[in-house]
Amino acid sequence: MYKKYTKRILDVILSTIAIISLLPIILMVALLVRIKLGSPILFKQKRPGMDEKIFTLYKFRTMTDKKDESGKLLPDEIRLTKFGKMLRATSLDELPELINILKGDMSIVGPRPLLVEYLSRYNEEQRHRHDVRPGLTGLAQVNGRNAISWEEKFRYDVSYTKNVSFQTDMIIIIKTISMVLIRHGVSSGTSVTMEEFK
């Protein structure tokens, strides 16, 4: 009952409240992104959602578009600015995902939406992470975020899909707020975010 109906109703209510209450912050971040990084303000990328249905994910830009002599984008470490690092550390870059939640592409809690090219790399068990809507936060995020391995992340993701409940979601939301405040697990040990899943 909760997984099929109530969870979606809560997503709509909570994302609407969040958008309204955080609107001044959202507008301020948008303005700063425009000043410091230029246009476009939003980073848009195709991601797989529930049942592997592809949707467009929205985030605030955190990187420049700097390219090398051949026109290829420079590595993330070079294009990620100090301002961008601050947005990521505070998770402010993810505020536009509230629109994805309102639209029904995502949920507040669920496995994080990853890259489309990863779909062919999952094993049968890992594919179950797409049995529910992807989330703004999830069980893997409150258990290490980018500081844990891909295998650990996927175990948490699949475990969540098999045990979705109101109580679990509330615990994850509370833990997420705590982790954002202490900025835990923003980067992996060898990358500014997380290494590519291979």
Domain span at residue 71 reads 2-182
Provide the pLDDT for residue 27.
97
pLDDT at site 184: 55
Note whether residue 80 is domain-resident: yes
Tens digit of each residue's pLDDT (9 = 90 or more) over 20-65: 999 999 999 999 999 999 999 999 999 999 999 999 999 999 998 8
- What is the model's pLDDT at position 182? 73
State the average pLDDT over residues 77-89. Answer: 90
What pLDDT score does 69 carry?
80
- Residue 27, in any domain of the structure: yes
Q: Is pLDDT above 80 for 146?
A: no
Total domains present in the chain: 1
Q: Which amino acid is at 22?
A: L
Any domain includes 189: no
**Is residue 181 exposed (0-12), middle (13-18) or buried (19+ Cβ within 10 Å)?**
exposed
Write out pLDDT tens, residues 96-105: 999 999 999 9
Give residue 121's pLDDT: 95
Query: What is the model's pLDDT at position 173?
Result: 95
Question: How many angstroms separate the CA atoms of 38 and 111, rounded?
Answer: 31
CB 188 within 8 A of CB 146: yes
Mean pLDDT throughout 158-181? 93
Backbone angles phi, psi at 80, to 5 degrees: -80, 115
pLDDT of res. 188: 46
pLDDT over 50 (residue 189): no
Note whether residue 43 is domain-resident.
Answer: yes
In a domain, 187, yes or no: no
| Mean pLDDT of the 114-123 span | 96
* Domain presence at residue 193: no
Q: In whole angstroms, what is the distance from residue 12 CA to residue 183 CA?
A: 27
- pTM > 0.75: yes or no: yes
